[in-house]
A and B are shown apart, each in its own frame.
Chain A
């Protein structure tokens, strides 16, 4: 800063010098009239205002100065020469105007932008209207002065505003201080410049030193000083200052100039730093990381902390003798040094390396080392710091991983397991073994094989799904066995263990693949063998369980199918007589089962089958010689067949035939198994067949016993045990379960009265050694005793000792009963036969008479003895001979042969008789004969009577019809002719009341009203009578209709009355269809309802309940009310016409209503009745018959 000030001073001097020189030069030029000169004529406008001027003359200097050529400008206007002059700020034209027109003399300095020059201008008017101008180019001068001015003001501002205190002083006093200097020491500038000595601003103790410093400079001993001192402010406060000072000679005087910095704050900071360093040191000492400060040039440890010692195993003293190169592992040293070099060169500020130290005990210590410089940029690299962390443990772990990886890699590369890493599209890694497994070379796999190419088609989707799952983290690890495909397209079984791996952010599947083909094949084979064994066992079990051959073979085929996946299996039986095969049972396809390849078997010969040879057609058609069968088989899609014989006791029972749609389906293993199976099957079939035979035999025996009600028993004397046949239990009524069957138990069943007898008989059988038959009774549960026919036989051993008793027991109860019944019935029949009024005759098939009853004998007038010697033709008229033959034929096939024949008596007389003939159980024919002579007479009488009756009925009907018509005409007339006058009476009464009301007194009016009500009553009576008669007359028309509809119709008619009288009606009728006369039923119901309304309306809470009941043949519609009811003694009367129980004034009515009901119900085949008691309501029952 001071030097800048100095520089400024120098500049100023130079400028001033230049200015003086320039002035001299210009004066000389002026004196030599070498200034620019120009004479002009002013041009004015109409207002005498100068607007332009014209050049009249210029000198060469003017030309030089202005660069204008005299020839070009003289005589021309300024505005033409100096375009833009009008716009010049000085506006010379105006000034020149003043000079030329007013005679003024002006001098000025001005700048011409046009010429870019400063001019000193002197202008005067040589004559009016003209002006002369002398120009002096002062551009250079102007510029120098301006530069000086600029520079000084710049420096002054700089110094004044400097943050550094700046001073200039001589030995005694301050010559200059800037504002900052004043601020530092707290004085004003005047105080400093006028009152203070330079040393006053330093602390007393420092003043001597300061003075010396000043003098040293002043005497030129040193040019500049730099020191720290304690300063003193005006307010006596002390402050730390940093002083730079230098000596200059200013205007011939030796002065000191320099700068002062207030470093009090820094000083205080440095104290703080010292404190901080202490703290740092303790951290340094106790740090958990090793910290060492190292001499950069030598690598010697300068300072180390405790931890650093621990890491490497040296104590501090030892350490400080070391350099870092000594304890660094040679392999790591080079990098360390390279980095150190860069650090020293300032390329880097710090570096981090991992390296190994030698521990004092010789072991290696891994450290993570941070090295940083401790010098400032540009300083000499003295120390650096190294912070190290013991990472031996980590390193060991890492090393372990590396070793492991190496090992792994080795394992992977040389593994017997195929290993691959792949994504959805390709393999990214495979080991050698993997390639070998699939028959590729490794490079080929990575380049051109997709992962799905190495698995069987059916596995591909699966693989992709698994990949996708793995990719989506759905499953982390999979392990499964799949079918693989080699390069040569052969398949193999592989066991895959797959897992998801992420490599550089991409997801792959890593897989381990084992070729388990052998294992799987072995396993499958084992499985099959096990399955075969299991099947064979099962077949043996099935034999025991099956109840029929069909069941057994069906089971076997089913089981076989579970193991051998062929398309059909058939068991065929060989029919020896026809040398053909018959299907016993087949699986799946019935169509296929019917394929009998016997034509193809023939050349093979059944003999070979018998010897156990099988017939194999693995390429189907090979063994089939019969062309049609080949076609048949082919068109069913069969490609392999295997026919294994079923041989039972050296006889060909049949064959087991298997078919498959695959070529070469039957392997040796299959065949050997099927042969074994066939053996078991044969044995099984034999057993089942034998069992069935045995079973059927036993069944037949049981059945025989059951039918014959014969039970058998055996009693073993030695063991004391007995065996009872099934039927014996039935006979005795005992349960098979709970009886200990012994001789005694059997005896207990015998009724007491027969017990002794039975014992004796059994003893007889033993003693006489001959079988005994006898009959006795046993108790049968709690029911009637049973009659038993027994047969007992005793068996002896060789020594003649009784070995066992055998017996047959037959329940003859029914037989006995039947015998008794037959006896009884015979007696009855005999009696019937003997006493029957009709003749009974019995003949054989040939018509020979065998028997006849007394009635027959008397009819024919033969004795019984005579009759049995006759034949049928002997007792009938010759007219009937042909009929007899026909009758005999008819009778043998159908019962109840009926005819009327003419019989011939012994005396030759004839009579006609009805005959009913039937065949008897023994084949003979029984005919019942009834003499029709008398009946014929009766019939004739009836006929005559009927004719008479008919005519009578007709006559009567005609009479009735006439009557009916009369009645109709009568009622018709009644209705019209009675009503017409009635209408007149009513009409005129009403007219009287209407037209002559004024002339009539109240009594007269009431008379007339009585007349009216009389006509009303009579009108009703007529209507009811008409209805009643109409019911009688009208035809009944049976139609089906809904009962509810009728009820609704009737209630609708009475609606206003029901509402008016507040009568509740409840209807409990479902949808019931009746067949009846709807009209009649409606009339009946209407009258019943009107009745109910009439007799309930006086009650407080009147109601009518309509409901329905039915029996098999009738509906009953019930109307119940809570009206006044009636005494049941009047029950029958109320249904009589004109019968009333009440006075008209109490309950209006004609007395016809219920008569109508009765009539209507009777007409439609039903009935009506009622139940009631006085004051307890009434129930009316309308019974309607059901028609089917």
Chain B
């Protein structure tokens, strides 16, 4: 079973907290981001998608990954993505509340492309999302719009 539906130019958001999901989507909207956004609500969903992924299927352009997830933690998911020969090329941005040095260090060790601490302030959050977008566009050198 694969609950995750990845299309061309899909951004995959891995986030369990519905409030955070909603706010993130809104923040994307604020930044006029039109890419399809697929949300995974726990680590398990992502792990399944990874497990069932077949070569040739579309890949998400970027994965935004929370760390504190039910079932499988974000770091476990990250490890799985970066261990897969095909999927490891997908840019992964950790988007989490944790600013623990341990988390940051481990994420980078596992090959995360960027690590961003989610701010409480919504306006700052929008700014962060804009930075992700910028980061991503620079990474791909193509427009997200």
Contact = CB atoms under 8 A, between A and B. Distances in A.
Contact of A987 (B19, B98, B99, B101): B19
B17 interface: yes
B26 interface: yes
A987 B101 CA distance: 26
Contacts of A984: 17, 19-20, 23
Given A987-B19, A991-B26, A980 B97 contact: yes
B123 A990 contact: yes
B69 to A, nearest CB: 11
A980 B20 CA distance: 7
Interface stretch (B38-46, B48-56, B114-122, B136-144): B114-122
B125 interface: yes
A1032 to B, nearest CB: 13
Interface in A962-991: 972, 975-976, 979-984, 986-991
Given A972-B100, A1034-B101, A979 B120 contact: yes
A1034 B17 CA distance: 28
Contacts of B120: 979, 982-983, 986, 1015-1016, 1019
B19 A975 contact: no
The residue among B20, B100, B119, B122 with the most chain A CB atoms within 10 A of its own CB is: B122
A755 interface: no
B130 interface: no
Interface residues of B, number: 19
Contacts of A990: 121-123
Contact of B118 (A983, A1012, A1016): A983
Given A980-B17, A980-B19, A980-B20, A987 B122 contact: yes
A1105 interface: no
A460 interface: no
Contacts of A991: 26, 122
A988 B123 CA distance: 11
Nearest to B67: A976
A1030 interface: yes
Contact of B19 (A983, A1019, A1030): A983
Interface string A1008-1022: 000010011001000
Interface string B70-104: 00000000000000000000000000111111000
Contacts of A1012: 121
Contacts of B26: 987, 991
B113 to A, nearest CB: 22
Given A976-B68, A990-B122, A983 B101 contact: no
A886 B53 CA distance: 85
Nearest to A973: B68
A954 B128 CA distance: 47
A1043 to B, nearest CB: 23
A983 B23 contact: yes
B125 A983 contact: yes
Contacts of A981: 19
Given A986-B122, A991-B26, A979 B97 contact: yes
Contacts of B23: 983-984, 987
Contacts of B123: 990
A1030 B103 CA distance: 13
B18 to A, nearest CB: 9
Contacts of A1019: 120-121
B67 to A, nearest CB: 8
Contacts of B97: 975-976, 979-980, 983
- Main secondary structure, interface of A, reads helix
Contacts of B98: 972, 975-976
Contacts of B17: 980, 984
A989 B98 CA distance: 23
Interface string B99-111: 1110000000000
A980 B98 CA distance: 11
A984 B26 CA distance: 12
A980 B119 CA distance: 10
A975 B119 CA distance: 12
Contacts of B100: 972, 975, 1030
Nearest to B30: A994
A678 B99 CA distance: 100
A1028 to B, nearest CB: 14
Interface string A136-173: 00000000000000000000000000000000000000
A1052 B43 CA distance: 39
Contact of A1016 (B19, B68, B121, B125): B121
Contacts of B101: 1030, 1034
Contacts of A987: 19, 23, 26, 122, 125
Contacts of B96: 976
A1163 to B, nearest CB: 15
B115 to A, nearest CB: 15
A984 B119 CA distance: 11
A1015 B125 CA distance: 14
Contacts of A1015: 120-121
Interface string B120-136: 11110100000000000
Contacts of B20: 980, 983-984
A975 B19 CA distance: 16
Interface string B7-28: 0000000000101100100100
Interface in A1018-1067: 1019, 1026, 1030, 1034
A981 B19 CA distance: 8
A970 to B, nearest CB: 13
A614 to B, nearest CB: 97
A1036 to B, nearest CB: 14
A1045 B83 CA distance: 40
A124 B105 CA distance: 158
B122 A983 contact: yes
Nearest to B68: A976
A986 B123 CA distance: 9
A734 B7 CA distance: 115
Nearest to B100: A972
A62 to B, nearest CB: 135
A96 B26 CA distance: 147
B102 to A, nearest CB: 9
A500 B20 CA distance: 118
Nearest to A1023: B99
Contacts of A1030: 100-101
B68 A986 contact: no
User: In this complex, which of B19, B101, B118, B119 has the most chain A Cβ atoms within 10 angstroms of its Cβ?
Assistant: B19
28 contacts: A975-B97, A975-B99, A975-B100, A976-B68, A976-B97, A976-B98, A980-B17, A981-B19, A982-B120, A983-B23, A983-B97, A983-B125, A984-B19, A984-B20, A984-B23, A986-B120, A987-B19, A987-B23, A987-B122, A990-B121, A990-B122, A1015-B120, A1015-B121, A1016-B120, A1016-B121, A1019-B120, A1026-B99, A1030-B100
Given A975-B97, A988-B19, 19 more contacts: A972-B98, A972-B100, A976-B68, A976-B98, A979-B97, A979-B120, A980-B19, A983-B97, A983-B119, A983-B120, A984-B19, A984-B23, A986-B120, A987-B19, A987-B125, A991-B122, A1016-B121, A1026-B99, A1034-B101
Interface of A: 972, 975-976, 979-984, 986-991, 1012, 1015-1016, 1019, 1026, 1030, 1034
In the A-B complex, the 8 residue pairs with the closest CB atoms: A984-B19, A987-B122, A990-B122, A1019-B120, A987-B23, A979-B97, A983-B120, A976-B68
